């Protein structure tokens, strides 16, 4: 079975926008983001509502860049880290766009781009589709780990959930940054039970997806200007390198969104960033401009997700990983 799907219809990312919080703006990519809020509240009374507003802001900015109204978007794929994706449904409610909620943890951006590209390529009634993913550090911490007031110490392998989000508008055009191939990831479970070491849970899925994609497309790492994961962090990226070397594959062009978002020592981010909004914000603010400007011509985006819930962790369950692949090219 050839899991790699080559899109027969050109699918373009017409516009993208990002919105982030205080720590993300302080990081290496800070000035590249479209919007930031130093309070992390985004004008809302709770962190959960603030996450919804991140998506609302990002989608509004993407629409403004494209010169479009929300009424010109036919379908919306969105997801976040909150239970039942309530940040997405609540924050995007006022747009009134037909909506499909997604949950793939930190891989949700990959699921969204995958689903939106296939929907556009297969349904002639659709003209434009949007993808929005978000996360919020304070909302995620008290849902998945400990109350914020507890002030628990994080281990060196722990990642910092990004207060961030990104919005992407897709249409059918032959020029610009195109999604040319997509591949769904496999669910892999290597028995990792530590929610403070998501990199170890996700790295095997990333390795499996990269090896499978290269094999099925008969390409090599050097055929791409960049191979970008999100969000393995520094711990998961090191494990990914070890796993690939066992198959004689070396990635000299690898970057990880979680490793790029924060200064390692200055911001005490431990293993780096994570969350649905991490890879979305980094793609919108950093990698898409590189593609649009010609610095990159072809890249693989592999958002990685740690599939867990508060209940599964409390019951001692292991953490499975997933890693879809999206190929972005400028033709």
Model pLDDT for residues 292-317, shown as the tens digit of each residue: 999 999 999 999 999 988 889 889 99
- pLDDT range class, residue 2, cuts 50, 70, 90: confident
**What pLDDT is recorded for position 1?**
65
Residue 123's closest CA among 101, 106, 100? 100
Q: Which CATH superfamily is domain 5-171 in?
A: Stage V sporulation protein AD (3.40.47.40)
Angle between helices 137-144 and 47-66 (to 10 degrees): 140
Residue 96's pLDDT band, with cuts at 50, 70 and 90, is: very high
DSSP at 185 = P
Mutual angle of helices 233-245 and 198-217, in 10-degree steps: 40
In the chain, where the domains are located: 5-171, 177-330
CA distances from 159 to 140, 164, 190 (A): 12, 14, 19
Please determine whether the domains at 5-171 and 177-330 fall in the same fold group of CATH.
yes
How far apart CA 147 and CA 149 sit, in angstroms, is: 5
Taking alpha carbons only, the member of 268, 54, 37, 299 closest to residue 177 is: 299
Gyration radius of the chain over CA positions: 18
- CATH class of the structural domain 177-330: alpha beta
At 144-157, the pLDDT tens digits run 766 665 566 677 78
Q: Where are the alpha helices (DSSP H) in 73-197?
A: 86-91, 108-122, 137-144
User: Which of the four pLDDT bands, split at 50, 70 and 90, describes residue 115?
Assistant: very high
Nearest 5°: the CA angle 183, 186, 197 is 115
pLDDT band for 319, please (50, 70, 90 cuts).
very high
pLDDT of residue 109: 98
Mean residue pLDDT of the chain comes to 94
Strand partners, 179: 11, 328
- Asked whether residue 10 carries a pLDDT value surpassing 70, the answer given is yes
pTM to 2 decimals? 0.96
Q: What is the full DSSP assignment across 127-141?
A: -EEEEEEEE-HHHHH
190 closest CA partner among 239, 230, 258 = 239
Contacts of 21 (CB under 8 A, 6+ apart): 36, 37, 38, 40, 136, 137, 162, 163, 164
| Whole-angstrom distance, CA of residue 303 vs CA of residue 108 | 7
């Amino acid at each position: 079975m050839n899991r790699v799907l080559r899109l027969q219809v050109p699918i373009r990312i017409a516009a993208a926008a990002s919105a982030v919080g205080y720590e993300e703006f302080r990081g290496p990519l800070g000035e590249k983001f479209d919007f930031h809020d130093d309070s992390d509240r985004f004008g809302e009374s709770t962190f959960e509502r603030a996450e919804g507003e991140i998506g609302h802001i990002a989608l509004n900015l993407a629409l403004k860049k494209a010169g479009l109204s929300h009424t010109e978007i036919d379908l919306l794929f969105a997801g976040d880290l909150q239970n039942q994706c309530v940040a997405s449904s609540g924050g995007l409610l006022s747009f009134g766009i037909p909506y499909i909620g997604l949950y793939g943890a930190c891989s949700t951006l990959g699921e969204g781009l995958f689903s939106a590209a296939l929907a556009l390529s297969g349904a002639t009634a659709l003209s434009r589709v949007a993808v929005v993913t978000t996360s919020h550090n304070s909302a995620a911490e008290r849902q998945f780990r400990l109350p914020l007031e507890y002030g628990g110490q994080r281990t060196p392998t722990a990642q910092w959930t990004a207060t961030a989000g990104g919005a992407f508008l897709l249409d059918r055009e032959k020029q610009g940054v195109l999604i040319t191939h997509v591949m769904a990831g496999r669910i892999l479970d290597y028995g990792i039970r530590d929610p403070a070491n998501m990199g170890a849970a996700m790295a095997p899925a990333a390795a499996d997806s990269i090896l499978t994609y290269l094999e099925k497309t008969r390409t090599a790492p050097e055929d791409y200007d960049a191979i970008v994961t999100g969000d393995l962090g520094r711990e998961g990226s090191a494990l990914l390198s070890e796993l690939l070397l066992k198959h004689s594959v070396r990635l000299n062009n690898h970057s990880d969104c979680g490793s790029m978002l924060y200064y390692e020592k200055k911001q005490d981010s431990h293993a780096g960033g994570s969350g649905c909004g991490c890879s979305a914000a980094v793609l919108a603010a950093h990698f898409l401009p590189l593609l649009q400007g010609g610095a990159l011509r072809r890249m693989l985006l592999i958002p990685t997700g740690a599939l867990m819930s508060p209940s599964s962790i409390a019951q001692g369950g292991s953490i499975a990983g997933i890693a879809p692949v999206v190929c972005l090219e400028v033709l």
